[in-house]
Each structure stands twice: as structure tokens, then as C-alpha cells.
Structure 1
Amino acid sequence: MDFKSLMSAHIAKSKPKPTPSPSTSPTPEAATANIKYLRRAELEAARQAAYVAEQERIQAEREERAAKKRKLEAEEQDKAARREEKLRRLAEESKRRREEEEREEERKRRKRLGLPDLVDGQKAIEDGSAADVDRVGISEDIADDELRSKLRDLHEPTSLFDEDHSARLKRYYALIRQKALTKASKSMTKGPVPTTLEPLPEKDLLLPETIPEATSSPERTFLYRQVASYFTLLLTEWARALNERTDQVKQSSSGKQAYQAYLTVLRDLTPLFRQLESGSLDHSLLASICKILRSTQSRRYVEANDEYLTLSIGKAAWPIGVTMVGIHERSAREKLHDGNAQAHIMSDEVTRKFLQSIKRCISFAQTRWPPEDLGQLMG
């Protein structure tokens, strides 16, 4: 045995032997049982499950917020609808109250003027012209040959340059609609004297101070309608007063004469209505008639009678030699002609008759609507 081996054995003998101590480390079998190893697929599945759960939570929160938003919007819409309904009711109530106030003012005015009370739901004109116009507006297709024949019957060209069937059909319906409108506008009103002038409400019957110069202006047409409507009002009230008489008065001689006088006024005023319709009434004559009617509306019957006398016989009532001596004009006589007023009572028979009928209308008006000032009563 060599030296190295001897030394190693001696050193080994000199080292103390370690005492065994209780160990806390698990045994290899226990360590193997506690340690769990996960595969990559299991980790990926767990990650996906966590992601899906997170997305579901986010989606649930989003849906909850959307539901709250929809609920708030629905509440806002309900509030807006209730607010609009309240505003609509307030507007209707205000309109109804305003209409009632206007009707009450109109009743007071009519009572003050002695006019009959208002009738609710009264229509100005009840005819089928509006329905005919609406019926014409319904466009239906027509065969081209028939359409050309209809245009030829209307004395219109059957075809225009570069006009197709649809344009021709549109032109045909425009023509017949225009004819229907013209026919409706020319329909006679239902009144004591039938006229094509459209009647006006009583609040618009007050005649103006000045007369429009242009004969074809809308203001002049409106003036014609005012004059015709006021005469219609007077004649209607006259007819009502005659109908309210007792049978005994109607059958008496004076009652028959009063009715014949009314019929004479209707007949004599018809030419005046026709001149108003055509716009051929003389300007000076129209101005004087408007002055008479304006004074009658204000219950100044003496002034209306003075205007009638000026219109009918003029200011130069007597020939030379009756009221003064001499054949030459004097300063006092020249003043009679300053107004350039022409006497119309002797112009022609038609003018004389409707001027006398206007005088009879004034006489009836002062009995129907007596003035507050007794000095304005005619003799």
C-alpha cells in the first residue's frame, strides 16, 4: 500500500461522523405528488376563458349603459311630447278665446249699428264650383287620339313643337282647370241682386275716403266689391223688414205699394251692379256714390242727402234769369261751378233710375238704423 492511501485512511479516521437530524424537506415521492405541471393548451384555454368572461362583462356594462340611455331618451321624448301637447292646447285655447272676443266685438258693433246678430257656421257661398275645380285637378291618363280630339274641341293646338304625350296631357288638364276656375269665379252670388262680385264680410264694408284712380287696380276692384256688398246688405235688410210684417199689412194697399217699391229698387239697381262688375262706372259718379254710402254708414243722413242732391241735380239748379238778372256770369254765380260737379239725373234714363233707387235706400237706412243725433234725420 503506498503513502497516499495510508494518509487518506488516517484522515478519514480522524474526522467526526455527522449525527443525523430530522429533515423537513419532503421525500421524493411527496415532492413528486405536490408539484403540478400544466400544458400549454390548458394555459391557452384558461386565457381564452378569462378573455371571454371579460368581454361578457364589458358587453353587459355596455348594454346596461345603452338601456339607461334609451330610458332617458324615452323620458325626454315623453316630456317633449307632453310639452308640445300643452303648447298646442294653449294655442288652441288662445285662438278660441281670441275668436270669441272678435265675435263678441262684432256682436256689439252689429248691435250698435242695428244689424242682425251673427249666425254661427254661416257660409258666404254654397255652390258646387269648388268641388268641380277639385275634380278637374285629378289627372287621369287619356289615349293620345282622344286627347287630341279634346284639345281640338277646346280650340287649342293638338300638338306643340317637341311635345310628348305627358306634356300634352298636362297642358290639357291645365286648360280645363283654368276654364273651371274662370267659371267658378264668374258664378253669380245669391243675393237680392245676383252679381259676380264676391261678397265681403261686414267688417270690411267701410268705404275709404279716397277713390283709387287706376280702373284695373286691385284696390278699385275691392272698392267695387265694397259698394256691391253694402247695397246687398241694405236690400237684404229691406227684404227682411218686409217679410216681418203681418199678413194684414202685406195685403193692404200701402203694404203692396211698399213691396212694389222694393221690387222697383231691385230692378233699377241691377244696371249699377253690372257697371260695377265690368268696371265701366264713371269715376265722378263712383266718387259721389261712395260719399253717399260713407255718410250713410256713419248715420249722417242729412249729409248723404246733400251728396245725393249734388250728384243728381248739381249746384246750378236754376237757369239764368230765375235767381238773378243778367246773362253774364257774376262772381256769386261763378262759385257754383267751382266744384266741377256734373248733374247726372238727366244723363240718361238708366242713371236716373238707379240714382233714385239710391235715394230710396238712404230713406230705408235711416228707418232701419236711426241716428243718435236727431238733427241728421232727413225730412
Structure 2
Amino acid sequence: MGEIEESANDTELKTKILLQARSYMKFLIQTWEDVVAKRTVDMDQLSTKANAVLKETKASLIPLLVLLRKGELSETVFPLLMGIFYHLQKKNFRAANDSYIKLSIGNAPWPIGVTAVGIHARSAREKITGENSEANIMKDDMTRSWLVAIKRLITFAEGHWSE
């Protein structure tokens, strides 16, 4: 009986966190739109490019917003993405960038052309190729596009709120 209540509380808490994450992303986009709107008064070439980047970022974030609304974010991505938003809200941009790198690249080793490593090739090869560890999440184009959009939000927030 206690496990069911804890599970319901966990689900409710996760739903609240996902809602807060969606709201914060929308807040960041709205703030960015306001900054670009103020800049486009003189309509120079730089503001036109900024407007195009903003539009592309908004389009790239739609699949992530849908995943957040449905609660279908994977268990490995959820804490890292929420960590990014937490650090952004605290204006700790270095930690947000570190969380982004951990999310996008992961901890899997990247082999640099080393294939034969000596006598104990089998165990060493597993260490090099990272067969037992999960690689980065940039496996499909949709995920890759919203990851780039998250990095753009981090960069915008850092430029807008850094002191």
C-alpha cells in the first residue's frame, strides 16, 4: 500500500516538474522574442539573422515540448534536462553548460582510431568502445535539433542575464 502512494506522489511530482520545465522554456522563448523585437526597430542585418535563429529554435523545441507534455522523456534525459533548467534559473551558467555537455555527449568514451591495444585486447577494447556504457543521445535528427535549441537557450540566457 505504501509503494502505491509513493509511486503516485512520484508521478505527481514528475508531472509538476515537467510542467515547470515547459513554462520556463516558454518564458525563455518569450524573453528572447522581446529582446529581438526591441532590436528589430532599426531592422539591420544582424537582427534579421537573430529573428531567423529564434524562429528556428522555436520550431526545434516543439518536439521537446510535446515530450514534456506527454511525460515521455526518457529516464536518462529527464534529470539532466531538469538540471539544465535548474542551473539556468539560478543563473549558474557554467553548471548549465556542464549539464548540457553531459546530456549531449554523455560519459561514453570516444575511440580515436585505437583498435589493437595489446595482449589483453578484449577487456581493453570494451573500455575503448564503451560497449557497456550508454552513448550520447544524439541518435536521431529530432533529438539533435532540440538539443541544439537547448544550447541556444542557454547561450541566450547567459548573454541576457550575465552580470
TM-score normalized by the length of structure 2:
0.80
| Counterpart in the other structure of 2:25 | 231
C-alpha separation in 1, matches of 2:70 and 2:144: 20
How far residue 294 of structure 1 moved from its aligned partner, in angstroms, is 1.2
CA distance 1:280–1:247, shift in 2 (3 Å): same
| Counterpart in the other structure of 1:290 | 82
Corresponding pairs, count: 152
Kept in 2, the 8 Å contact 1:315–1:337? The answer is no
| Counterpart in the other structure of 2:70 | 278
| Percentage identity across paired residues of the two chains | 28
C-alpha separation in 2, matches of 1:310 and 1:298: 19
Q: Residue 217 of structure 1 aligns to which amino acid in structure 2?
A: T
Correspondence 1:236-275 to 2 at 5 A: 236-248=30-42, 250=43, 252-275=44-67
Give CA-to-partner distance per residue, 1:165-198, whole Å, 9 cap, x none: xxxxxxxxxxxxxxxxxxxxxxxxxxxxxxxxxx
- Higher helix content, 1 or 2: 2
C-alpha separation in 2, matches of 1:260 and 1:352: 19
Report the 3-state secondary structure (helix = DSSP H, G, I; strand = E; otherwise coil) of the residue aligned with 1:319: coil
Q: Which runs of 5+ in 1 are unaligned?
A: 1-211, 372-379
How far residue 214 of structure 1 moved from its aligned partner, in angstroms, is 6.4
Larger radius of gyration: 1
How far residue 233 of structure 1 moved from its aligned partner, in angstroms, is 1.0
| Counterpart in the other structure of 2:3 | none
| Counterpart in the other structure of 2:137 | 344
| Counterpart in the other structure of 1:204 | none
C-alpha separation in 1, matches of 2:22 and 2:161: 19
**Larger relative contact order (CA 8 Å, sep ≥ 6):** 2
Q: Residue 236 of structure 1 aligns to which amino acid in structure 2?
A: Q
Runs of 4+ in 1 over 4 A off after TM superposition: 212-216, 327-330
C-alpha separation in 1, matches of 2:61 and 2:7: 24
| Counterpart in the other structure of 1:356 | 148
C-alpha separation in 2, matches of 1:213 and 1:352: 31
How far residue 315 of structure 1 moved from its aligned partner, in angstroms, is 2.2
Q: Which runs of 5+ in 2 are unaligned?
A: 1-5
CA distance 1:245–1:268, shift in 2 (3 Å): same
